[in-house]
Amino acid sequence: GQQVQQSPASLVLQEGENAELQCNFSTSLNSMQWFYQRPGGSLVSLFYNPSGTKHSGRLTSTTVIKERRSSLHISSSQTTDSGTYLCALDNNRIFFGDGTQLVVKP
Amino acid sequence: GPKVLQIPSHQIIDMGQMVTLNCDPVSNHLYFYWYKQILGQQMEFLVNFYNGKVMEKSKLFKDQFSVERPDGSYFTLKIQPTALEDSAVYFCASSPDWGGNTGQLYFGEGSKLTVL
């Protein structure tokens, strides 16, 4: 079955709005990762977050292992934030979610 | 759904030996990728490949690394010679189009390489 559920599947925002992306896991995990997928297909790792909250610029990741969920918050979105965001469950093997397609309109 | 198969799932070799990791991408996919993840660390991009050529590679893609897909068979990652720091899980992925157009990469489950 699907190990990782991401929501929403797609999201359209106006520039300046905040975004909240969710990841839920159906199994235990060692850690999880959030990625931004470049147009060329390569992945940019945003967070490697076993637990707790991490910040990086306008991005915040919060993982609650006992609740099997993680979130990615993007504040004050910009058009350059548009793209695909993937979360991945790390349970000795990597399981990716289907991604959230984010579109930020000017 | 579409599957990317990786062979072997686990390989143990001595430092200095050559290793070839095989990837059977989703049929009709045209773009192929390798990623590397050292245990407990982030997964990192190595290389992508299209139409018989390397399109993009990261600084992790050392001179000892090479990729090819002869005549539509396996997409391979060869390391020769191997070093201790090459111990990692290597993930293959494929996509039907350039990643940004489809937004969908399909990943294999990884090949764990242990270099002794």
- The pLDDT tens digits for A96-105 are 787 898 999 9
pLDDT class of A41 with cuts at 50, 70, 90: low
Q: By C-alpha distance, which of A37, A23, A36, A17 is closest to A90?
A: A23
- Examine the pLDDT at A2 and tell me if it is beyond 70: no
Picking from A41, A45, A101, the nearest residue to B43 by CB comes out as: A45
pLDDT at B94: 84
CB B101 within 8 A of CB B50: no
pLDDT class of A21 with cuts at 50, 70, 90: very high
CA distance A62 to A86: 14
pLDDT at B18: 98
- Examine the pLDDT at A93 and tell me if it is beyond 70: no
State whether residue B85 is helix, strand or coil. Answer: helix
In a mutagenesis test of the B interface, which of A34, A36, A87, A94 is the best target, namely the one with the most B β-carbons within 10 Å?
A: A94
Q: Which chain A residue has the Cα nearest residue B100?
A: A39
Contact assignment for A42 to B103 by CB distance below 8 Å: no
> Could you read off the pLDDT tens digit of each residue along chain B, which spans 116 residues?
677 899 999 999 999 999 999 999 988 888 888 988 787 566 677 998 888 899 888 889 999 999 999 877 899 999 999 999 999 989 898 877 654 333 356 778 789 999 99
pLDDT at A61: 95
Average pLDDT in the A21-41 region? 77
pLDDT class of A90 with cuts at 50, 70, 90: low
pLDDT at A36: 87
CA distance A1 to B3: 14
Average pLDDT in the A65-93 region? 86
Tokens for B53, please give them.
Answer: 């050529």
pLDDT at B100: 39
Contact assignment for B31 to A45 by CB distance below 8 Å: no
pLDDT at A30: 65
Average pLDDT in the A77-82 region? 94
